[in-house]
């Protein structure tokens, strides 16, 4: 669907088998061909949508000049290898998320399953829930293959989508190397998962990842205020304006969550050491499915470590379990 005629931006909405049931990918037409931003899962339903879009717009594989990935999460990159095979187009991603694709997503999935299992165990999740919360990791890793050959894009680099130039904006937080793309002339920002209109991007601490992802995210948000942005084109939900208001809302959301976490260990003027699992239950409730619980745990951990690094909480180990106070 064409959503901006002047910049020739098309939105390609692909289905996702999650509660968040879609991803917005973007295709930009220029006089020399087409450029894609994010590509969805490598599933039959996603490939069917892409093939229909190519057919409807009379696009040959060779017409695709570049594929740009905002970050290394499967719903954004998994179909990139397939699209590269049919187009020969280069696939671009940040250096940090290229590393993540190599270490986490390019293999059998056993290593990252063990790492996440150990992380959840150290933070108090019961063993029977850990098994349920990690059993989808290996199938997800395998579903991202074949992987594309990757080219690296750097922060502040000028790239061309269609007939217009965009600047890469480094926005770590949701992933270690998340990139947005900004056209200053028209004030358009492709925001990936960094800025979403109605939901907060998941900010999680993962094994072998950045140690303070929430600090990175808050810094990224604040730095975005210098952009003269008129329209945000996100990976989920509808395009929106008033980016600065949304930044303030997201900042307030995370500071409120930090306050709730501190309060959870200081009820009735007493201090009680709690595991991440116990604090997560207070924040998110007890009704989460196993998939969402894994992300709630890692997001809770990111907030806790943010407080630890700033001297507002302490973490200690007891019988191999991390306790926060």
pLDDT for residue 40 is more than 90 = yes
Mean pLDDT of the chain: 96
pLDDT above 90 covers a percentage of the chain that reads: 94
DSSP β-bridge partners for residue 4: 9
**Number of domains the chain contains:** 1
Confidence band (pLDDT; 50, 70, 90) for 5? very high
Asked whether residue 213 is assigned to any structural domain, the reply reads yes
How large is the average pLDDT for residues 265-280?
80
- On whether residue 32 sits in a domain, the answer given is yes
- pLDDT for 271: 66
- Burial letters for 280-300: b for 16+ Cβ neighbours within 10 Å, e otherwise? bbbebeeebeeeebbebbbbb
- 203-257 pLDDT per residue, tens: 999 999 999 999 999 999 999 999 999 999 999 999 999 999 999 999 999 999 9
CATH of the domain at 220: 3.60.15.10
Residue 269 in this model has a pLDDT that exceeds 90 = no
- Is the CB of residue 275 less than 8 Å from the CB of residue 124? yes
Residue 161 to residue 66: CA distance in whole angstroms = 8
pTM of this prediction? Answer: 0.96
Q: What is the pLDDT of residue 265?
A: 81
Does 270 reside within a domain?
no
Residue 85 lies in a domain: yes
Cα distances (Å, whole numbers) of residue 322 to 115, 127, 314: 16, 15, 10
Q: What is the pLDDT of residue 168?
A: 98
Question: Structural domain of residue 57, as residue ranges?
Answer: 2-106+144-260
> What is the per-residue pLDDT for 268?
44
Check whether 270 has a pLDDT greater than 60. no
Residue % of the chain over a pLDDT of 70: 98
Residue 228 lies in a domain: yes
What pLDDT, in 10s, does the model give residues 71-119? Answer: 999 999 999 999 999 999 999 999 999 999 999 998 899 999 999 999 9
The answer to whether residue 26 is domain-embedded is yes
| 253 occurs within a structural domain | yes
Nearest to 253 by CA among 289, 202, 290: 202
Quickly list H helices, 153-270: 213-223, 243-264
Instruction: Please state, in angstroms and as integers, the Cα–Cα distance from residue 147 to each residue in 17, 193, 316, following that order.
Output: 21, 21, 40
Q: How far is the C-alpha of 286 from the C-alpha of 302, rounded, in Å? A: 19
User: Is residue 193 situated within a structural domain?
Assistant: yes
Q: For residues 60-64, give the mean pLDDT.
A: 97
Cβ pair 71, 170 in contact under 8 A = no
Helical (H) or strand (E) element with 87: helix 80-87
The mean pLDDT of 168-189, rounded to a whole number, is 98
């Amino acid at each position: 669907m064409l959503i901006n005629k002047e910049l020739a931006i098309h939105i390609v909405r692909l289905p996702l088998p999650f509660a968040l049931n879609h991803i917005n990918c973007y295709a930009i037409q220029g006089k020399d061909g087409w450029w894609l931003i994010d590509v969805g899962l490598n599933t039959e339903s996603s490939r069917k949508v892409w093939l229909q879009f190519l057919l409807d717009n009379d696009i040959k594989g060779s017409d695709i000049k570049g594929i740009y990935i905002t970050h290394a999460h499967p719903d954004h990159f998994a179909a990139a290898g397939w699209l590269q095979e049919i187009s020969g187009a280069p696939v671009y991603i940040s250096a940090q998320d290229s590393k993540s694709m190599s270490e986490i997503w390019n293999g059998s999935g056993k290593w990252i399953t063990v790492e996440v299992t150990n992380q959840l165990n150290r933070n108090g999740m019961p063993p029977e829930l850990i098994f349920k919360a990690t059993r989808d990791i290996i199938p997800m890793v395998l579903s991202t293959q074949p992987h594309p050959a990757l080219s690296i894009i750097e922060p502040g680099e000028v790239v061309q989508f269609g007939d217009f130039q965009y600047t890469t904006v480094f926005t770590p937080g949701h992933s270690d190397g998340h990139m947005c793309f900004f056209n200053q002339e028209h004030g358009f920002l492709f925001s990936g998962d960094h800025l979403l209109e109605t939901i907060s991007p998941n900010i999680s601490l993962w094994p072998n990842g950045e140690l303070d992802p929430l600090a990175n995210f808050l810094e990224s948000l604040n730095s975005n205020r210098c952009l003269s942005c008129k329209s945000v084109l996100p990976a989920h939900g509808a395009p929106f304006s008033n980016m600065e208001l949304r930044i303030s809302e997201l900042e307030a959301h995370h500071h409120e969550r930090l306050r709730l976490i501190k309060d959870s260990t200081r009820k009735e003027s007493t201090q009680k050491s709690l595991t991440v699992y116990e604090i997560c239950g207070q924040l998110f409730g007890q009704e989460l499915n196993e998939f969402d619980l894994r992300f709630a745990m890692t997001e809770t951990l990111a907030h806790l470590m943010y407080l630890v690094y700033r001297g507002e909480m302490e973490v200690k180990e007891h019988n191999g379990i991390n306790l926060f106070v």
